[in-house]
């Protein structure tokens, strides 16, 4: 592996072991990035063909959504083999080649591990189904007798996060109706029992498997949910996550991450990143305390409305949360589970909440307004201290596709709620690379199949080819911002200092030399005195910063 500390056009802040403290991480959703073989589904050959695009974009690392063998009941978050690649994506040899090609370009690789649940096709689950109640095979999962005279009721009333009960009844090997198993997500995603030591040993081995192959980091799916109260108490309405919750953010989960950290620390410069949707900053902070995870995703920032006071509060809380452990903050505007930011920011309500997707989709979106705000948000986000995530397509300004025909939708959330929740397909539509009509070079010219989700015709102006070289495009804004972020020692990890500003305006300095000003108020505001404009999210009006516009300024002296 080359010396990743010195790659690219100057990256002092990311150099060496602590690269993750400043990294710009590109979230690559493999199914929708680029299709190399024409079956309408993105794959690793497709990624390898576009690594130069990512290098030119200026990112430091790629986080891959799950690429393992999977029946794809939840787009790969139902894994049947943690040590291989799904044939639809390629082979282990493709992954090895991809990792080394990315490293040669100075790009690190973060992979997604799903420890809360596997697939119902995982050999352990199949063995559990074939074994008897009370067996060692069943103890790796949560099998329980049902309630009621003949066990016909689920063991408790827990609900699946994807809708419906969190328990499914099995048929025993002798053909009789049998035990129930727990799945906090879809029935095809049985939860592992983390009180079982073979589960713990297995996942530590999986970590080593991928670290040995060169993975630089692990994104841990549903990281707060692994441990469960064996008494299976009901979840009280409104019960917050925490020590007393039956499965969300229980204290025991920290023991697991201390062991994972010990494994990661056997290797140089590896990073553990937690996906934890809990609102309590103090409890979130525990995950980055010494000897546990390196960083956690910043969902309060992701969900925050386009509002100066609300953003400032989230930013301050984030920094306060990470400070005691000396962990870097992370910043994320969107991902494969939430609405695309251009649509969100174009609505009358610019917040986001996983539980209220139907409501948000019911609001009309002004995409021009959303795009202006998304551009300003990009400069705000990329100026904040710490590491930052860019979800594929965000750099193109793609919008949420809300009119996917019902029969084309694939998300289990859509299916399990009978359409009450529109689900996440709209943020997962394959990328437009070039051309005037679908598949926009997502698939090769002679492709046999359509993209796995339909692309809007209107994306012709948002393809990589259409935006490249257009100074007004989102892509060129991201390229310029990422380049400046690399070149400016004050950006990335480090201190920030708020500056006084009018109501509705955010202004802060990074070091002595760089100031970021974002105008979320209803009127243009005068920019502070400065020595030069490094980058603006939209046209400036002389000395005025227009509404929904952000600017990076070079400070005087």
Select 69 or 187, whichever has its Cβ closest to Ca ion. 69
Query: Within 10 Å of residue 472's Cβ, how many Cβ atoms?
Result: 10
Query: Within 10 Å of residue 17's Cβ, how many Cβ atoms?
Result: 11
Q: Are 551 and 536 in contact (CB under 8 A)?
A: yes
> Looking at 77, 194, 389, 452, which residue binds ligand NOJ (CB under 6 A)?
77
CB of 398 to Ca ion, least distance (A): 20
Identify residues 142-161 at the interface with Ca ion (CB under 5 A): none
> Looking at 185, 345, 352, 433, which residue binds ligand NOJ (CB under 6 A)?
185
Number of residues that bind ligand NOJ (CB under 6 A): 9
Please give the C-alpha separations between residue 266 and each of 103, 212, 259, in angstroms, as whole numbers. 20, 11, 11
Query: Within 10 Å of residue 280's Cβ, how many Cβ atoms?
Result: 13
d(Cα 271, Cα 219) in Å, to the nearest integer?
9
d(Cα 421, Cα 434) in Å, to the nearest integer?
32
- Site mask for Ca ion (CB under 5 A), range 392-431, x = bound: ----------------------------------------
CB of 222 to ligand NOJ, least distance (A): 5
| 416 alpha carbon, distance to own chain's centre | 22
Helices (H), ranges, 157-276 = 197-212, 253-264
Q: Is 400 in the site for ligand NOJ (CB under 6 A)?
A: no
Query: Within 10 Å of residue 293's Cβ, how many Cβ atoms?
Result: 25
d(Cα 29, Cα 392) in Å, to the nearest integer?
7
Select 35 or 275, whichever has its Cβ closest to ligand NOJ. 275
Identify residues 7-36 at the interface with Ca ion (CB under 5 A): 35
Task: Determine the 3-state secondary structure of 478 from DSSP.
Answer: helix
Select 114 or 333, whichever has its Cβ closest to ligand NOJ. 114
- Site mask for ligand NOJ (CB under 6 A), range 209-248, x = bound: ------------xx--------------------------
Q: Which residues pair with 509 in a beta bridge?
A: 497, 515
d(Cα 143, Cα 146) in Å, to the nearest integer?
9
Q: Is 74 in the site for ligand NOJ (CB under 6 A)?
A: yes
Picked from ligand NOJ, Ca ion, none, the partner binding residue 35 (CB below 5 to 8 A depending on kind) is: Ca ion
Select 214 or 444, whichever has its Cβ closest to Ca ion. 444
Picked from ligand NOJ, Ca ion, none, the partner binding residue 74 (CB below 5 to 8 A depending on kind) is: ligand NOJ
Picked from Ca ion, ligand NOJ, none, the partner binding residue 41 (CB below 5 to 8 A depending on kind) is: Ca ion
Closest by Cα among 257, 262, 289 to 208: 262
Q: Are 304 and 311 in contact (CB under 8 A)?
A: yes
Select 20 or 77, whichever has its Cβ closest to ligand NOJ. 77
Q: Are 302 and 296 in contact (CB under 8 A)?
A: no
Select 185 or 306, whichever has its Cβ closest to ligand NOJ. 185
Task: Determine the 3-state secondary structure of 221 from DSSP.
Answer: coil
CB of 64 to Ca ion, least distance (A): 15
Q: Is 37 in the site for Ca ion (CB under 5 A)?
A: yes
> Looking at 292, 337, 394, 548, which residue binds ligand NOJ (CB under 6 A)?
337
Query: Within 10 Å of residue 235's Cβ, how many Cβ atoms?
Result: 15
Name the residue number minimizing CB distance to ligand NOJ: 77
Picked from ligand NOJ, Ca ion, none, the partner binding residue 77 (CB below 5 to 8 A depending on kind) is: ligand NOJ
Select 39 or 137, whichever has its Cβ closest to Ca ion. 39
Picked from Ca ion, ligand NOJ, none, the partner binding residue 399 (CB below 5 to 8 A depending on kind) is: none
Query: Within 10 Å of residue 435's Cβ, how many Cβ atoms?
Result: 15
Torsion, CA 90, CA 91, CA 97, CA 100, rounded to 10: 100
CB of 418 to Ca ion, least distance (A): 30
Picked from ligand NOJ, Ca ion, none, the partner binding residue 114 (CB below 5 to 8 A depending on kind) is: ligand NOJ
d(Cα 238, Cα 444) in Å, to the nearest integer?
49
Picked from ligand NOJ, Ca ion, none, the partner binding residue 337 (CB below 5 to 8 A depending on kind) is: ligand NOJ
CB of 427 to ligand NOJ, least distance (A): 10
What 8-state DSSP symbol labels residue 239? Answer: P
Select 33 or 185, whichever has its Cβ closest to ligand NOJ. 185
Q: Are 530 and 515 in contact (CB under 8 A)?
A: yes
Picked from Ca ion, ligand NOJ, none, the partner binding residue 185 (CB below 5 to 8 A depending on kind) is: ligand NOJ
Q: Are 341 and 370 in contact (CB under 8 A)?
A: yes
Give the contacts of 461 (CB within 8 A, at least 6 positions apart): none
Q: Is 43 in the site for Ca ion (CB under 5 A)?
A: yes
Please give the C-alpha separations between residue 209 and each of 114, 438, 485, in angstroms, as whole numbers. 15, 38, 33
Rg (CA), the chain: 23
Q: Are 33 and 441 in contact (CB under 8 A)?
A: no
φ, ψ of residue 545 in degrees (nearest 5): -100, 115
| Residues forming the active site | 221, 266
Number of residues that bind Ca ion (CB under 5 A): 5
Identify residues 275-334 at the interface with ligand NOJ (CB under 6 A): 275
> Looking at 114, 341, 490, 514, which residue binds ligand NOJ (CB under 6 A)?
114
Select 38 or 71, whichever has its Cβ closest to Ca ion. 38
Query: Within 10 Å of residue 458's Cβ, how many Cβ atoms?
Result: 11
Name the residue number minimizing CB distance to Ca ion: 43
Q: Is 142 in the site for ligand NOJ (CB under 6 A)?
A: no
Q: Is 39 in the site for Ca ion (CB under 5 A)?
A: yes
Picked from ligand NOJ, Ca ion, none, the partner binding residue 37 (CB below 5 to 8 A depending on kind) is: Ca ion
Helices (H), ranges, 323-398 = 341-344, 357-362, 367-383
Select 245 or 416, whichever has its Cβ closest to ligand NOJ. 416
Picked from ligand NOJ, Ca ion, none, the partner binding residue 452 (CB below 5 to 8 A depending on kind) is: none
d(Cα 154, Cα 253) in Å, to the nearest integer?
25
Give the contacts of 468 (CB within 8 A, at least 6 positions apart): 475, 476
Query: Would you tell me which residues interact with ligand NOJ (CB under 6 A)?
Result: 74, 77, 114, 185, 221-222, 275, 336-337
Query: Would you tell me which residues interact with Ca ion (CB under 5 A)?
Result: 35, 37, 39, 41, 43
């Amino acid at each position: 592996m080359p010396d990743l500390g010195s790659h690219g056009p100057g990256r002092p802040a990311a150099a060496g072991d602590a690269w993750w403290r400043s990294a710009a991480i590109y979230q690559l959703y493999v199914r929708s990035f680029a299709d190399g073989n024409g079956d309408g589904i993105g794959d690793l050959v497709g990624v390898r063909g576009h690594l130069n695009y990512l290098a030119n974009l200026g990112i430091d690392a790629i986080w891959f959504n799950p690429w393992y063998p999977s029946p794809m009941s939840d787009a790969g978050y139902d894994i049947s083999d943690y040590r291989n690649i799904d044939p639809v994506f390629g082979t282990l040899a493709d992954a090895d080649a991809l990792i080394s090609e990315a490293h040669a370009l100075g790009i690190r690789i973060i992979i997604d591990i799903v420890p809360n649940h596997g697939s119902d096709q995982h050999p352990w689950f199949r063995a559990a189904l074939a074994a008897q109640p009370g067996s060692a095979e069943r103890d790796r999962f949560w099998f329980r007798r049902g309630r009621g005279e003949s066990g016909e009721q689920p063991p408790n009333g827990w609900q699946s996060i994807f809708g419906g009960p969190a328990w499914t009844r099995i048929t025993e090997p002798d053909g009789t109706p049998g035990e129930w198993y727990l799945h906090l997500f879809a029935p095809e995603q049985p939860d592992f029992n983390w009180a079982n030591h073979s589960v713990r040993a297995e996942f530590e081995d999986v970590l080593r498997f991928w670290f040995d192959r060169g993975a630089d980091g692990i994104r841990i799916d549903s990281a707060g949910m692994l441990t469960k109260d064996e008494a299976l108490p009901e979840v009280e309405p409104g019960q917050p996550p925490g020590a007393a919750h039956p499965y969300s953010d229980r204290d025991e989960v920290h023991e697991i991450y201390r062991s994972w950290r010990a494994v990661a620390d056997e290797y140089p410069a590896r990073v553990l990143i937690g996906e934890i949707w809990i609102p309590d900053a103090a409890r979130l902070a525990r995950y980055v305390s010494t000897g546990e995870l390196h960083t956690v995703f910043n969902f309060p920032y992701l969900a925050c409305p386009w509002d100066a006071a609300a953003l400032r509060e989230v930013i301050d809380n984030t920094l306060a949360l990470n400070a005691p452990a000396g962990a870097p903050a992370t910043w994320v505007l969107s991902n494969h589970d939430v609405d695309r930011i251009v649509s969100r920011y174009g609505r009358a309500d610019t917040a986001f909440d996983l539980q209220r997707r139907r409501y948000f989709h019911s609001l009309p979106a002004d995409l021009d307004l959303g795009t202006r705000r998304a551009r300003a948000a990009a400069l705000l986000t990329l100026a904040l201290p710490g590491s930052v995530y860019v979800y594929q397509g965000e750099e193109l300004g793609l919008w949420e596709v809300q009119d996917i025909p019902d029969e084309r939708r694939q998300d289990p959330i859509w299916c399990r709620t009978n359409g009450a929740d529109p689900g996440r397909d709209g943020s997962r539509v394959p990328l437009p690379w070039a051309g005037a009509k679908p598949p926009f070079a997502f698939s090769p010219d002679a492709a046999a199949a359509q993209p796995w989700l339909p692309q809007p015709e209107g994306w012709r102006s948002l393809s990589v080819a259409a935006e490249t070289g257009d100074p007004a495009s989102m892509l060129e804004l991201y390229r310029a911002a990422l380049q400046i972020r690399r070149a400016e020692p004050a950006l990335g990890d480090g201190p920030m200092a708020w500056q006084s500003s009018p109501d509705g305006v955010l202004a802060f300095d990074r070091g002595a030399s760089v100031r970021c000003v974002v105008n979320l108020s209803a009127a243009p505001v005068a920019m502070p005195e400065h020595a030069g404009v490094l980058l603006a999210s939209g046209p400036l009006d002389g000395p005025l910063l227009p509404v929904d516009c952000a600017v990076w300024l070079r400070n005087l002296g």
